[in-house]
Amino acid sequence: MSSVLLAILDPIDSLLLAPGTLSQPNKRWHSAFVTIYSDSNFKIDQTSLTKLVKDKNVENLENIGGVLRVASTLETNVEFGIPADLVDIAHRHEAFGQNTYERPPTKSFFNFIVEAFKDLTIFILLGCAALSLAFGIKEHGIKEGWYDGGSIFVAIFLVIVVSSTSNFRQNRQFDKLSKVSNNIQVDVVRAGRRQQISVFEIVVGDVVCLKIGDQVPADGLFLDGHSLQVDESSMTGESEPGEVNCSHPFFISGTKVVDGYARMLVTSVGMNTTWGEMMSSINRDTNEQTPLQARLNKLTSSIGKVGLAVAFLVLVVLLVRYFTGNTEDEKGNREFNGSKTKVDDIVNAVVKIVAAAITIVVVAIPEGLPLAVTLTLAYSMKRMMADQAMVRKLSACETMGSATTICTDKTGTLTLNQMKVTKFWLGKESFLANAYSSIAPYILELFHEGVALNTTGSVFRPNSGSVIEFSGSPTEKAILSWAVLELNMEMKQLKQSRTIIFIEAFNSKKKRSGVLMRRMVDNTTHVHWKGAAEMILKMCSSYYDASGIIKYLDDGEKMKFEKIIEGMAASSLRCIAFAHKEVSEESNGDDEECKKLEEDGLTLLGLVGIKDPCRPGVKKAVEDCQYAGVNIKMITGDNIFTAKAIATECGILMPGQDILGGAVVEGEEFRNYTPEERLEKVDKICVMARSSPFDKLLMVECLKQKGHVVAVTGDGTNDAPALKEADIGLSMGIQGTEVAKESSDIVILDDNFASVATVVMWGRCVYNNIQKFIQFQLTVNVAALVINFVAAVSAGEVPLTTVQLLWVNLIMDTLGALALATEKPTKELMERPPVGWTEPLITNIMWRNLLAQALYQIAILLTLQFKGQSIFDVTEKVKDTLIFNTFVLCQVFNEFNARKLEKKNVFKGIHRNRLFLGIIAITIVLQVVMVEFLKKFADTERLNWVQWCSCIGLAAVAWPIGWIVKWIPVPQRPIFSYLKMKKI
């Protein structure tokens, strides 16, 4: 490897710096090389860079001069990064490619059409249409004979095109969401400034800053950092995290940082990385089946079996009636006369009978149900994106509607995450912002060290004198801005005059971070700690007062400091403590060997209180969730007083509620309960303070054991187990780490609890819309099956033709799904308790509504079937058209009823759903065209104004029936549970 790179680099260097004594051919080569490399600006090719990281051979890296040599060849300044100008970035794109992956092409529209043709019923219908077309042309000639078969073909084509179009659009929607979910933000250093850019904008040569929870965005080499542990299980399968440092400096894209922080030099991006090669062969699974879709498939299968049975009976009855000579043609002659009947006529008649039976199956099988779910989920995902929630797993859309408990984080979710230092205590004395000049210079210097060296944040001072930029976590930014703007800290000078020996990085388990550093001036070694105030206080045996005198910290003094911390916490302040200790060189051992900082005998430097105000609207969102029967539990790492103050402010905790006992606990207390005690007390707990990620996981497990549907919000790497264990994991889009997002089902893009409440409402809306559509479609199914069966058995014919039934199928499958599945969520949804997973999809209320409408439709249509000719004094053909027209218009009017399952006013909010009104209008227009203009195609006769008004009047009765029926009370217990009891 080293010989390959040296073979590349050395000739390049020699050619670029070649003396003037070269021969003529060599001069031409020299000229070509200078042209190439002055254009691309780089002295190393992508293949060598890729091989360098892939082989993970430290010896090869050292042979070519190490990481700094590679940075030099990539024209990267390891401290200031690459220049931020567009020309340089364009050169890097051209030389090394972009950080995007080539994915397999998405399915084309043609693929969805092919899949639609694979449906068995469509396949059988096509066969019947072909036979009908062939016999029709043979019997009546091509001019007249194509109508029956051709009309079936057209109807099938319409069904296929509409369903394929909706599936194609839904697939495109998922692809767009996939691109958004992959577009993560990355910290890079460019032109000396730390900034956030899209992962797709990273180029070879970039200096990337990595911290706990980040996903490594490209292949690269370790520049500097501390305690860096990387989980490479996604690439290597190794479960144990590996350390990345100067001895093992290789980063593989797609791996995750589990501890520490570092800066890396990017050497390969996009398709040149190992992750890129792997991702290009994976296509996002958009065929994921949600629990609701699985339940609907079972329902579809059950209804389909009933439909098949009815269709088979109709087939048998019609065949028996035909072959026993009980059917007549249009002229009144008997159709079957034994051996006198032509074979062509027999086959033609049988094909018509089979087609009618198959069409009944098509209408009976509610194929629109899966389509309705798909449409609802696709529509909801799109709208939820606008409401700051990005769905990563489809099932979460509907599961969120069943959530009974939400375990929420505090920082950034309930609060604004806009932190500012508002209190400062040095010893037992509180200092105001303008009174820091009275503090001893030595103490200020210790503070400067403790802030500047023990941080993952950074400070950028623009040369132009504009506003200083602070980067890092909100807590880090708050402390850095306070130290720079109020304590006059010079971060750059401090870093240059001190050597960092070892860093213990912050994580949510330890709730503290420490640094071991050496001053260059006097060569003394010091330990600085920073973290949760009560944690740091336990490590201290003395404290500094304002004049810099060290005082002994006995139990009595500790109590006083604890009171100060409690007072700050009760004011909703996050309390951070700083501690210091000068240590001897011998006690720390060798720099490389030193893996643990001294944790006792420290001197307390001071306390800072950071204010993080509650988000506006959070209290209202919490109240909405509680009103909807969803319990809110706050789980935070802050101390118990801060937690109680914020929980009370947000409405999670009522004033004085903890006096009753059990509403507020600490993580350690909850952890030490017996399993039985935990199960007994978990429902009462509203706030868990000083919790570890394990405590959060434990609470989720307990709640699930008690039958709750649990949603969890989290932003840290250590929240990943709880996010995975929860029924719905919600990660934070701004402060959330990539590991947390990867473990979650939904990403809350604005980190706001109000968005979590919106997701609950959308989840209920998805479920409610599906129920509306089920009620609407089953009404059609029941009515169509009964009418066709009764008419076939009694009269020997089916009143609704194949094309007419296919048209009804098109209305209820696609247009109905579009109209009802895209209803927006309303506040009414939050007025009822969560829907349990075990509750039936078709409730007693739905059975009441659909049976009332179906019975009315059956009664009217059968009356028209047997008495229609005499009532209206019309021919049989007009009577059949009246039946068809009334049946379709009944569905149009019933579509309004389906909008509200329980509410009597079905028109409320209808003006806001333009899509619904548009679909109703399209349906009516198409029905008029079918009846008035497509006589041959639809097998209809034109109707006069009286007949049209009669059809509309009969169909409109659906509205008063719907209103009256909703006054009838229904039992809470599901109807079918009574049948099970009888079986027992």
Q: Which residues form the catalytic set?
A: 409
DSSP codes of every residue in 824-854: PP-GGGGGSPPPPTTS-SS-HHHHHHHHHHH
Sign of the Cα torsion 739, 745, 747, 752 reads negative
Q: Residue 792 corresponds to which tokens in the numbers above? A: 């076939």
Task: Measure the CA–CA gap between 703 and 681, rounded to whole angstroms.
Answer: 10
Query: DSSP of 727-779, one letter per residue?
Result: SEEEEETTT--HHHHHH-SEEETT--HHHHHHHHHHHHHHHHHHHHHHHHHHH
CB atoms within 10 A of CB 425: 22
Parallel, antiparallel, or unpaired for β 602-611 and 540-544?
Answer: parallel
> Are 390 and 749 contacting, i.e. CB atoms less than 8 angstroms apart?
yes
Spatial distance between the Cα atoms of 89 and 209, rounded to a whole number of angstroms: 18
Residue 982 burial (CB count, 10 A): 6
Work out the number of other CB atoms within 10 angstroms of the CB of residue 150: 18
User: Cα angle vertex 131, ends 127, 134, to 5°?
Assistant: 140
Pick from 617, 423, 439: nearest CA to 533? 423
Distance, in Å, from the CA atom of 153 to the CA atom of 156, rounded to the nearest integer, reads: 5
CA dist., res. 812 & res. 336, Å (int): 36
Closest C-alpha among 261, 249, 263 to residue 221 = 249
Q: Which two tokens stand for residue 533?
A: 């105030």
| List of residues 6+ apart from 356 with CB closer than 8 A | 314, 318, 788, 792, 798, 801, 802
Nearest to 139 by CA among 322, 341, 345: 345
Rounded CA-CA distance 139/826 in Å is 58
Distances (CA, A) of 972 to 96, 369, 840, 977: 66, 25, 12, 11
How far is Cα 658 from Cα 452, in angstroms, rounded to an integer? 40
Separation between Cα atoms, residue 282 and residue 101, nearest integer Å: 10
Question: What is the β-pairing status of strands 631-635 and 687-689?
Answer: parallel
Strand partners, 415: 614
| Tally of CA atoms within 13 A in the half-sphere of 664 that contains its CB | 23
8-state DSSP, 129: H
Contact 595, 625 (CB under 8 A): no
